[in-house]
Amino acid sequence: MPGWTNLVQAETLGVALGRSDIAIVDCRSSLINPAAGEMAYLEGHIPGAVFASLDRDLSDMTRTGAGRHPWPSAARFTARLGDWGITPQHQVVAYDGGDGAYAARLWFLMRALGHEKVAVLDGGWLRWTALSLPVDTHVRKPVPARYAGAFDAARLLDAEQVQQRLAAGALLVDARAADRFRGENEMIDRVAGHVPGAISRPFAENLVDGRFKPPAQLADEFRALLGGRPAEEAIVMCGSGVTACHHLLAMERAGIKGAQLFTGSWSGWIADPARPVATGEA
């Protein structure tokens, strides 16, 4: 059976609920209150969903110097997938509160493992509940499984690799809000500004009315951004390597595959005070 590989609509998932091959992961989160996502999950979630904490499950907070949400090792992440009962054969669906910013992190973690059948619920929890689709409070206890896999290292870059790629002409796209990119409004990281040479495209520009734009529109926008470069010469970043994954998802929806992620992103860049910082427009 063909799988969902980038987005799935709420109506489609609603019909498929209960299929044994589907694994649903609730990725709701809040940078302001890290406990808010799990509290919301306990109050109600899509039936059968397990909960993924951004800090606990989708990052490795024991790592230092790699940004606010360090990319986990493959061993650590695949062990968590096994805890959730997810195998390489499952169709995985991730959702968050609505815009896909956190669900896209799980999507790209799995895509970097080579897992093709993984999709983000378009419109997330907000659209699911707006359509009065089923909601549950039961916390499922998965049957543990084994998931073996390794990340595609070519798609995951650290600060030094980004510097080298920029010097070679790569395009670095920053998914943060434009005022944070310009250094005018930094409420999260200790230094304001952006990586010299980066350009700004806030991840919200991938959406219209809370859902992803049509593939053709995204393709036109990202091809214009790339300026003739192949996707392999594009790197995406944000504040900590989370919302940047939204761009990777949007690009794949547009049929543009192969861009890389700056895993530490801005918070990883400024971990070394010797690295240059730019402010203002690109």
Residues 6+ positions from 209 with CB-CB distance below 8 Å: none
- Asked whether the beta carbons of 222 and 251 are under 8 A apart, the reply is yes
Report the helix count and the strand count for the chain, using DSSP H and E.
Answer: 10, 12
Which residue's entry shows tokens 């998931």? 147
Active site (catalytic) residues: 238
| Cα first-last separation, the chain | 45
CA distances to 94, 114, 198, 238 from 86, rounded to whole Å, are 12, 14, 37, 28
CA 37, CA 52: separation in Å to the nearest integer? 9
Q: DSSP label at 261?
A: E
User: Which residues does residue 211 pair with via DSSP β-bridges, in sequence order?
Assistant: 208
Residue with tokens 């310009």: 182
CA atoms lying within 13 Å on the CB side of residue 227? 8
Separation between Cα atoms, residue 224 and residue 105, nearest integer Å: 25
Q: Which two tokens stand for residue 17?
A: 């609920």
